[in-house]
Amino acid sequence: MLLIILGDGVVANVVLNKTKGQNAGWIVITAGWAFGVAVAVYAVGSFSGAHLNPAVTIGLASIGKFAWANVPVYVAAQLLGAWLGATIVWLAYLPHWPVTESQGGKLAVFCTAPAIRNTSANLLTEIIGTFVLVLGVLAILTPKNLNPVHGWDAGFGPFLVGILVWAIGLSLGGPTGYAINPARDLGPRLAHALLPVAGKGNSDWGYAWIPVAGPIIGGVLAAVLYKTVWPA
C-alpha cells in the first residue's frame, strides 16, 4: 500500500492537470518510485521480509528460500495492498481527474502501458527489468555484503534497493514503464476498472498479462542464476 501511494502518487502529480508537479518529467517519476520502494521496505521488512513483489516471492520460492505454502497468502496481500494504495491515490487527487482530458494519462497513474506496443518486445523488457531487480536485491542482501566488518549494515539495504529501482527506471523503464512487479500493476489496474474515476477509459486488459508474466519469468531466472553463482 505504501509503495503504491508514493509510486502511483508521483505519477498522478506529474501527469494530471493542475497539480503542483504537472509535467515534472521522468526523473521525478523514477525518483518517486525509488523512494517509495525504500520507505515500504523499511516499513514492512521486520514483518514479512519486505515481500512487496510477487516476482520476488515466487523467485525465492523457486530456489527454496521461501515456502511455497506461503506464496498464495503473500501474493494476495500484495495485490490487496496495491489496490488499497491506488484507491488512496485516487482520493488524494480527487479534484484533478475531472479536469484531466487524457484517458491514457489517467490509466498511467494506476498501471503501465508500452511506449510502442509489441507483445514479444514488451514481454522481454519486463523480463529483463525484473531479472535485474531480483538479482540486484539478492546481491545486495548477500550475507557477506551485510557483514558490518566487510560491507554495509543490514539497515542500509532498503536504501540500496530503492537506488536499484531508480536505476532500473532510468535505464530500462522507457519501453514499458517498468512494472517489474505483478501486484504493482494488476492491483491498481483493478482499482482503475472498479473505481468511479472521472472520465476514465478502458483498463487495457489486453496488455495486462505482460506486466504479470514478464516479471515472474524474470524473477525466477534471476533467482536461479543467483543460486547457481552464489550457492551458499
| DSSP output for 143-169 | HHHH-TTTS--GGGHHHHHHHHHHHHH
Q: How far apart are CA 114 and CA 168, in angstroms?
A: 16
Q: How far apart are CA 57 and CA 69, in angstroms?
A: 11
CA atoms within 13 A on the CB side of 202: 5
Q: How far apart are CA 164 and CA 12, in angstroms?
A: 22
* Pair 183, 53: CB distance under 8 Å: yes
At residue 232, the pLDDT reads 57
Question: Which residue shows C-alpha cell 516479471?
Answer: 215
Q: How far is residue 114 from each of residues 121, 122, 124, measured CA to CA in Å?
A: 10, 7, 12
* Pair 173, 181: CB distance under 8 Å: no
> If pLDDT is split at 50, 70 and 90, which confidence band does 156 have?
confident
Give the count of beta carbons closer than 10 Å to the beta carbon of residue 228.
9
Q: How far apart are CA 174 and CA 231, in angstroms?
A: 34
Q: How far apart are CA 43 and CA 34, in angstroms?
A: 14
At residue 147, the pLDDT reads 72
Average pLDDT over every residue of 112-134:
98
Q: How far apart are CA 192 and CA 158, in angstroms?
A: 29
pLDDT at 36 over 60: yes
* Pair 183, 191: CB distance under 8 Å: no
Summarised one tens digit per residue, pLDDT across range 46-93 is 888 889 999 999 999 999 999 999 999 999 999 999 999 999 999 999
Domains and CATH numbers, the chain: 2-229 (1.20.1080.10)
Q: How far apart are CA 102 and CA 5, in angstroms?
A: 21
At residue 49, the pLDDT reads 85
- Average the pLDDT over each of 78-82, 87-91, 120-124, 138-142 and give the range with the smallest value: 138-142
Is the pTM higher than 0.85? yes
